[in-house]
Amino acid sequence: MAAQRMSLREAIERSNSNRLPAVDNNCDSVSIEIKEDGESSCCSHSSNKWLKSIMEEGNMYLHSGLQKPKIQTVQPFLREVETNKKSYDPKVVSIGPCHHGKPELQPIERLKKPMVLLYVKKRQVKIHELYEEVVKVASDARKCYAEGLTERFNDEEFTHMMFLDGCFILHYICNIVEGNHEELKKIQQIALVRRDLLLLENQLPFLVLRVLMRPRFGIADGEEMITDFIKRIRGELPKAVTLPERIKYFIRQHCLGLKSHSEVQMQDRKDKDDDEPVHLLELVRRQFIDPKAFGFGCVISSSWYSRRSAKDFKTVGIHCKPSRTYQFTDIEFKSKFSYGILTLPKIIIDDTTKSMLLNLAAYEVCPDNANDLGVTSYICFMDSIIDQDEDVKELRSKGVVMNYLGSDKQVADLFNDITTELAPSPHTYLQVKSCIEKHHRISWKSWIAEWHHSYFRSPWTCIAVAAAILAITLGVAQTVLAAYQTYLTAHPPNN
């Protein structure tokens, strides 16, 4: 019996020696050792090679999750939506390798060299020194693109493209922020250039913009300039620059010029270690989405949420109002005694809004981009409360939607179109949706809201209701007084 147990134990150990190891989430990689002698393994030689390929490709995938996402093309299932497919292609200017060389984009392509010269002269830097900075990062910039996007360019062609496109972007943004439209007069459809700069397939690695900003602006001031540009896109008014801020800016610029070359390199190395965005579109997304606003598992609700339009909110006493910020994460619901308040971020709707929202959503669903789907969830939430033009009219009257597109129906169609093939995160706005649904289920609040909506919509209806109540009260009082007088006549008092 002991011999039988020993042989059984040996068999188990031998079996375990050929078994694939479990994946340890705390390990950086997974290793495997498979015997190929065919004696102790039931797998064939081809199967062993196949299993090894699984481990190698799996390790590559696990490591890629620790890296920044690459610049990719729009996913095919999004381009298949007929009403949206034009929103992913540039109309006037190409940036980067994806649409480079298209004939319809050549008019602006010919303007890039003059604009680069203007950028260099205005920043008081030497053009060959600025170009050498791009040469140093060109190899890293090429690695920022997904496989297959840059193969048709040799190293020199790729570096030329990075230099021209990077200077063009910064010159355009700088003049927009400074309000200097004189140098942009030659560009037709300036608003369309802004639209094209926010396309997923029209992005330049941010590290290229970094080295082009550094000689004149400095990294911090250059990023601040880009942030101001994004605020204008969101509709925020630029704040006035105070005298202390101007003095601080002068000192910082002056001190930067006194730094030695080694000190500048150390500062650049420190800046690179910071959380730098991949490209301009990601920086735009960071301005719209607060990652701390979405908590997973912090709100548990068993209630379901059905679509409720903004027009229907009025019938149950839910009032919409604009939030203090323009961030898509700034959505909340507060329930009062007899009514509720839904706070929504302001949003400007114009000819470029659809393209911007779709490309932000396309960036979120890229295969190597793990995020909270914040923009996608916002788009779907807005679609759930906007069904027709009456809903847009209600949100517009409350200051939530600023319509520069056209009719309210066009805005409603916009949100109804862009949600096709988009799936939001099930965790996003969970508490808001739960509270709205709970408010809808309380019947007496709906009765009060309906009564208030029917009889107190305007000052004239309020006056009419007050007059009716007064007339009824006087009528009742007159009837009671007449009955009392009749009673006194029939039963006169003794004294």
Percent of the chain whose predicted confidence (pLDDT) is above 70: 70
User: Domain limits of the chain?
Assistant: 76-251, 311-445, 458-490
Do the beta carbons of residue 123 and residue 174 sit within 8 Å?
A: no
- Give the CA dihedral 63, 69, 73, 76, nearest 10 degrees: 60
Say which amino acid occupies 126.
K
3-state secondary structure at position 30: coil
More confident of the two residues 224 and 405: 405
Residue in 273, 391, 400 with CA at minimum distance from that of residue 343: 400
Distance CA 404, CA 406 (A): 6
**Chain segment 284-309, per-residue pLDDT in tens:** 999 999 877 765 444 444 455 667 78
User: DSSP string covering 212-277, please?
Assistant: HHTTTT-HHHHHHHHHHHHHHHHTPPPPPPPHHHHHHHHHHHHHHHHS-HHHHHHHHHHHHHS---
More confident of the two residues 350 and 191: 350
More confident of the two residues 339 and 460: 339
- Averaged over 438-445, what is the pLDDT? 65
Residue in 141, 143, 145, 144 with CA at minimum distance from that of residue 73: 145
Backbone angles phi and psi of 360, in degrees to 5: -65, -40
Distance CA 461, CA 459 (A): 6
**Chain segment 378-428, per-residue pLDDT in tens:** 999 999 999 999 999 999 999 999 999 989 999 999 999 999 999 998 888
pLDDT of residue 420: 92
**Chain segment 146-197, per-residue pLDDT in tens:** 989 999 999 999 999 999 999 999 999 988 888 877 777 777 678 889 999 9
